[in-house]
Amino acid sequence: MANGYINSVESFGSVDGPGVRYIFFLQGCRMRCAYCHNPETWKIEGGQVLSPEEAFGQAYRYRAYWKKQGGITVSGGEALLQIDFVTDLFKIAKARGVHTTIDTSGNPFTKEEPFFSKFQALMEVTDLFLLDIKEIDADRHKSLTGFTNANILELAKYLSENGKDMWIRNVLVPGLTDREEDLKALGTFVAGLGHVQRFEVLPYHTLGVSKYQKLGIPYRLSGIEPASKEAVQRAETIMGCERYQGYLTD
């Protein structure tokens, strides 16, 4: 079994999946999103090294708080960069009846081998995918993250075709990801997918700026204010987020 490189954990997460979650934030991410609030997770080196059995045992101590809806979420960084570890962890979890969720930007996804076979194995033991779609326009996505979004949209379609439950997330950055035409296009894309339980707009915030200063990394969005409640509501309306089951409930 593959070990996992873990940046941090959250024992009582309430937003990264249904119910109360034990969340593993893994090391490693190729994307360089302009608004990333966890730059310390970019390098895969570092963090706590745990085997899947050790990680599950650490999380399972909190099972009394999970009740019917809670469980384990693996986030990042980018969780799919450690796909072997996540799959082994989720196999253990499913054998014990624990709900499993992965939070991913989809950047590593490809139908090429050996990744594709590994991903299919991961799907079998994953109950819910939290998929971040940063931007629907390919050029602006590359400017924002350093990568195109073609394979990310392909992943969303593949999950839909294979009946996997999803929550779709989009971060609203004033002046960057709030163009009405792009919001409409993203809403249309999501409306064409099946098995989307929730469609969320997450407001851009500046809570991670101090981390950039500490790490000596230039922060690209200096001067951009956090997204207002009104701006988020506007985006939700344009994209039709309210149509999705579970949008406001756990």
The secondary structure of residue 227, as a DSSP letter, is P
Predicted TM-score (pTM) of the model is 0.95
Helix (H, G, I), strand (E, B) or coil at 105: coil
pLDDT, tens digit (0-9, with 9 covering 90-100), for 57-111? 999 999 999 988 899 999 999 999 999 999 999 999 999 999 999 999 999 999 9
Token pair, residue 171, equals 């971060």
What is the side-by-side order of every strand in the sheet holding 196-203?
48-50, 4-13, 21-26, 71-75, 99-104, 128-132, 165-172, 196-203
pLDDT, tens digit (0-9, with 9 covering 90-100), for 3-51? 999 999 999 999 999 999 999 999 999 999 999 989 999 998 889 999 9
The span from the CA of 233 to the CA of 160, in Å, is 26
Nearest C-alpha neighbor of 58 from the set 4, 129, 2, 125: 4
Domains of the chain: 14-243 (3.20.20.70)
Amino acid letter, residue 30: R
Say how many C-beta atoms besides its own lie within 10 A of residue 208's C-beta.
14
H/E stretch holding 184 reads helix 180-191
Say how many C-beta atoms besides its own lie within 10 A of residue 129's C-beta.
22
Token pair, residue 237, equals 């309306």
